[in-house]
Amino acid sequence: MSEQALRTDADFELFYERNWKYVYRLCFSYMKQETDAEDCTEDVFVKVLTSDIRFTDETHERKWLTVTAMNLCKDRLKRMSRKDISLDEEGAPEPAVPEPDDYSDVREAVLALPERLKDVVWLFYYEGYRADEIAEMLGSPPSTIRNRLRDARNLLKEMLGGEYFAE
Nearest CA to 129 out of 45, 78, 140 is that of: 140
- Tell whether the model's pLDDT for residue 25 goes beyond 50: yes
Catalogue all structural domains in the chain, each as residue range(s) with its CATH number.
Answer: 1-82 (1.10.1740), 98-162 (1.10.10.10)
Compute the average pLDDT of residues 71-82.
85
Cβ burial, residue 40 (10 Å; 0-12/13-18/19+): buried
Compute the average pLDDT of residues 38-67.
91
- Segment 96-125, tens digit of pLDDT: 444 444 456 787 888 888 888 988 988 888
Q: Which sign, positive or negative, has the C-alpha torsion 131, 150, 147, 102?
A: positive
Distance, CA of 2 to CA of 20 (rounded, Å): 20
Nearest CA to 134 out of 157, 151, 117 is that of: 117
Nearest CA to 15 out of 38, 44, 37, 39 is that of: 44
Burial 48-82 (b: 16+ CB within 10 A, else e): beeeeeebeeeeebbbbbbbbbbebbeebbeeeee
Per-residue pLDDT at 17: 92
Q: What is the pTM of this model?
A: 0.65
